Chains A and B, each alone.
Chain A
């Protein structure tokens, strides 16, 4: 039941989207947006295209405007200048319900009402498809079913959300967003507060949603190494500006990490995924005595085989 009949594959040509802001055919993009809360400008004149059918990860230090950008992309924040374009139309010209049928967002800290059951929470994801006298149709039921199935949380369906572990809860929130049946999924720090096993769990789920159901996924993540593993496209931000965007291997470099995070590091090859692996240096270990790039195992003497 995990196949989703409504979602048709969008990424017909896999290698057109490699260039960072290359194509304007993206379903979702930002055009010279300025984003501000009250009169505090967070982002000034930023442009960005979200490649269709890919996993895009936005990284950057705290308070660099990642979440603000995500909120603007989902129509929650109106740009004071520029536009966010969804399917060729200015997103603020579209009715909010219409946007919610095309684009799902999971905010950083959603609130579960006290005592709500998992299945009822996931069912709330159907809101944009419902009307006053169309409160629970067959397709609602099917979508909730598929969402619980895709997140392997069917067996949690009858439990109160308060009783779940952090990882389970995150899966349930993602299920709610999936029940919206949108091709575009925006998740704001879905791995915060999770232990490493559950982080991987959630990110595997995101990858699955992308690979198997061809959904376009946008994530805000803090862990650079996980970002490199799961992203097709990385956007690195600092102070409201995109410093670099592209495939992980091009974006996550020693120079960019220093530039974005002010952190000295060594970038080596992730032995499992062969994506960049950032090893911070810190003040105690000032001298990196291994050859950083290219990622050949320079310290072969240290290997553990006997």
Chain B
């Protein structure tokens, strides 16, 4: 329990905008959360919610318009010096969604997996590089003989593994997994999830797991944040959240999860979220509040009252 308590990544009041002047679009609006070392942190939302943008902002693919991203005590967004940039390249890596689009079709697998190493040059001899690459392939369950082949010769699941090998060969501490299994078949998803869990145990990795599939998130994450239109509406330990969702958006999202059990699925009641009905934020804007230990929610005073009552009904003691 204690080793989880070190904060590896902290995001404070993050704001990301796209477009210029009149067509300015705010993708991420005042988002704050932190990730402990060694945990799997889930970021859940639907399309357009901004979850992918957050992931890309952390790894510096997108520019931030406000707020701070602090990794292991150092600020990593905005302008940073080359040394720090190089350090982040090694310590934070990303796994992409579409295995068909995330590998360079015209390059051999060996080049694809070695690409990061070529950039970092953190090996002395070519032998050493080859060693690292082979080890990475074995770690993801692929045979080293596959290194001389091209991506199109592999299936979706295998390609995704190559993508994973490409990131872990850098020996990162934080891996941002942007919907890593959405594009895979059902039975292959299980393989990749097992692989990720296995690697986490072996190498002490920390994951930021971005997804829209709530059943997967429940299985693999320790804590999860729900994001709606650029704002995080609720954040809590996974089990706690799934058992007692408070925010109406969280509730509607969870009620829509398909359950592979005919009886339960047909008895299910769908909740629909309509921001204009559920909230009245004109007079009383919401704040990001810790309603019980490690359970945050975006709400104004009136809503907080209700939530506390709901928690009390479920026998949970709220803060304040």
**Physical interaction between A and B:** no
